[in-house]
Amino acid sequence: MRGISMWCWAPVCVMMASPSFAATVTIEASGSAPYQLGEKIWLLGKLDGVGQHMNFAVNGIPGGNATLGTVNSQNGEYLAPTIMPPGNAVTISATTDGATPVTGSRVFTLRLAAPAISSVAPLSLQCGQAYTLTVTGLRYAPKSVVWVSGKAVSTTYVSGTSLVAKGIAGQSNGGIGIKVVDPVTGTSAENYQARVVGCTTPTPTPTPTPTPTPTPTPTPTPTPTPTPTPTPTPTPTPTPTPTPAPDAALVAAARFLDQTTFGATPTELARVRSIGQAAWLNEQFAMPASPMPVAGSLNELSINWYRNMASGKDQLRQRMIFALSQLFVISAEKNPYANEMQPWLTTLHNHAFGNFKNLLREMTLNPSMGKYLDMGNSILPSPNENYAREVMQLFTIGTYMMNEDGSAQRDRFGDTIPTYDQAAIGEYARALSGWTYPGNSATGINWEKFTGPLEPRDAYHDKSAKTLLNGTHLLAGQTAVQDYDAVMDNLFQHPNLPPFIATRLIRAFVTSNPSPAYIGRVAAVFARGPQGRGNLAATLRAVLTDPEARADNVDSSRGQLKDPMLHTLGLVRALNGQVLDPTNLFWNYSNVNQQILRSPSVFNFYSPLTRLPGSPALYGPEFQIYAPSLAVLRANLSYDLLAGNLSSMIKIDITPYVNAAPNVATLINLVNTNLLSGRMTPATRDALTTSIAATADPRQRALTALYLAAVSDFAVHQ
């Protein structure tokens, strides 16, 4: 700035103006140019290198408009227009507050957005026949080309939202990927799948389809028909088969491994019977975690996790990670890239047997969660309330006050007492404001980046006083870190947390309907165990060693329906199956509503509050994705695994069962031992006896026995 200096040479003094040093305004931005139409960009105005509030304008228009894009001066968010403006660029200016404002500007070049697919019709193509596909979506141009199965096909441009593609279908059944490629704007983000049907020649590497076809018939003999219920209807037994008495030690070991792994294997059964359940738990708690390498794609991350679940030595940790992933839920539906999901999975790996407080703290600042529930860049003046709501409702304390045994506290009118209200959500959102992603700016707001935890920015944190639950008051003027610490302590010390976590873990590992006494015993360990409040290893040990978990009392209210992941992986492990390349198998899981990493909402694939159909007094969370149509699809998936229709993905050898098939009793007893540990119900034994006797083919007999057992008794934990 200009000042006045006095220079003196005796006897004369002269007043002179000092040189002028003008202040400079610069604008930092997330991402890199050229920016895509419709893209969100975070701006940070700096005066002489120091970030501060600025008033933004686009091409001289304060706040911008729909033609040029809009900019929010409160948080620096610029939303590029969806239609290209003149010159393919806009100029954004930033002006300081105050009596002598200073302005700086920056030119932002824009580019067209890539094409997108919203639908493809038809989805079924006849084997070897000519087809015509109508591809509907956005941002198509005359030079856009449809690619099918990795090859460009003849494409006719209809409009900016429609293309017609023609080609010849392949000679093998299975899924085919579809995308749109534009030489100017790029490739569609979606890769839709259709399927080729009607081929009769078997292929060496079967490919699953997004929509499973009816149960295949490997031989001319009749195939079993999938049923939507887990227990087949008993039919008269033409030839009763002898029923060996269950081995009590085998049953105990198998039940224990059903609860602690993704399914008992012959090796693990022998290990538990050799060293005992307590020693096996000690081994598992001390075992190093299976590696989870940095993945280059979402598919690679899915494969890595799936392999760990299927064959990792640290099965108890993997089950805990799986359970916690259904508590602290995020999804690739919103975080579609591997680097956006990996930090979340890493946190679950690192804290599976640690302290819940550390898990909660790290998950709150996890960049994956920061994107999914919008705590990243939740700043003044209107912080986002999503994480504040869900951290209470779904992650820690639930919606109503509980006693330590999980029973609801009630007011004098008999109504449940809410744990929080909308005002409390607002208080927590303000307390958790002022966090951004790691990035170029150490003081301002950064765009999404997943290389480290969220970072505090006090300039964007609400520093007013706040009131948390249980009368905790936060003084005005506290930093983002101070308020974050207070929120974490407040939730960790809340009396609802022990029964809430106890109930969720019991339902994940043992039974959907634990008794209040069971919940109370586990909650007490979480709250006051010798390892301190919140120790997850001690809490999990309490879940698994409780008398209610170990008692072998079978009734209709105990145990749980297996979800598709536990059901299919349990089948693979019981039969010593080998995971090869499960990439296309994930489509099959999507058809039964449990595609790995793709929960449809923060409530998980199924809500923990789902009641058992027809029995509203009982909980049955997994039944939410077991409607009759889904039950049939899951049965088809089980059959495909057993019949070898998915052998390029998972290899299962049923030769021992084929060899035993000539003798009905021998075959049934082998299935009973290896899949059900000797606990086959009389109804299932009768159904198997009748169905097996209907065919003389050994392979069909083996498939029938394994299939009917898999979709009935094997479908539940008890």
pLDDT tens-digit series, residues 103-148: 999 999 998 887 877 667 887 788 888 999 888 877 888 889 988 8
Per the listing, tokens 């979506």 go with: 137
CA-CA distances (angstroms) from residue 411 to 470, 559, 609?
A: 17, 32, 22
CA-CA distances (angstroms) from residue 316 to 259, 286, 304, 464, 530?
A: 9, 10, 17, 45, 21
Note the pLDDT of residue 31: 64
Encoded amino acid at 406, one letter: G
The predicted-structure confidence for 136-163, as pLDDT tens digits, reads as follows 877 888 889 988 877 889 999 998 888 9
Whether omega for the bond prior to residue 122 falls within 30 degrees of 0, making it cis, is yes
Contacts of residue 228, Cβ cutoff 8 Å, sequence gap at least 6: 627, 628, 629, 631, 632, 635
SS3 call for 177:
strand
> Any bridge partners for residue 164, and if so which?
134, 156
Question: Check: CATH 3.40.630.30 for 116-197?
Answer: no
- Please check whether residue 671 is in contact with residue 227, taking contact to mean a CB–CB distance below 8 angstroms: no
Element (H, E) at 651: strand 650-651
Is the fold of 25-110 the same as that of 116-197?
A: yes
Per the listing, tokens 């075959």 go with: 667
Both tokens of 34, joined, read 């050229």
CA-CA distances (angstroms) from residue 54 to 92, 103, 389?
A: 11, 9, 31
Q: Supply angle C-alpha 279, 322, 615, rounded to 5.
A: 100
CA-CA distances (angstroms) from residue 443 to 41, 105, 381, 460, 464?
A: 17, 20, 17, 10, 20
Rounded CA separation 426/421 (Å): 9
Rounded CA separation 326/508 (Å): 9
Question: Check: CATH 2.60.40 for 25-110?
Answer: yes
**Low-confidence residues of the chain, pLDDT below 70?**
1-22, 31-32, 118-119, 172-175, 186, 188-193, 195, 197, 200-245, 554-556
Both tokens of 14, joined, read 């002269």
* Helix, strand, coil content of the chain in percent (nearest 5): 35, 20, 45
CA-CA distances (angstroms) from residue 63 to 67, 480, 593?
A: 12, 28, 43
DSSP per-residue codes, 535-558: BHHHHHHHHHHSHHHH-----TTS
**Domain spans, the chain:** 25-110, 116-197, 362-396+420-493, 562-717
Both tokens of 232, joined, read 């087949």
Note the pLDDT of residue 687: 94
Note the pLDDT of residue 40: 79
Give, to the nearest 10 degrees, the angle between helix 664-676 and helix 564-574: 120
Note the pLDDT of residue 191: 46
CA-CA distances (angstroms) from residue 291 to 114, 287, 308, 309, 459?
A: 36, 12, 8, 12, 39
Both tokens of 692, joined, read 């097996």
Rounded CA separation 273/545 (Å): 16
Its sign, for the CA torsion 269, 274, 275, 278, is: positive
Contacts of residue 193, Cβ cutoff 8 Å, sequence gap at least 6: 123, 175, 176, 177, 178, 209, 210, 587
CA 159 to centroid of chain Cα atoms: 36
CA-CA distances (angstroms) from residue 36 to 54, 146, 336, 353, 674?
A: 24, 22, 18, 43, 56
- Please check whether residue 420 is in contact with residue 470, taking contact to mean a CB–CB distance below 8 angstroms: no
CA-CA distances (angstroms) from residue 415 to 400, 408, 423, 469, 470?
A: 10, 9, 20, 20, 20
Note the pLDDT of residue 138: 78
Rounded CA separation 542/514 (Å): 13
Its sign, for the CA torsion 564, 566, 569, 571, is: negative
Note the pLDDT of residue 18: 40
The predicted-structure confidence for 244-284, as pLDDT tens digits, reads as follows 667 889 999 999 999 999 999 999 999 999 999 999 999 99
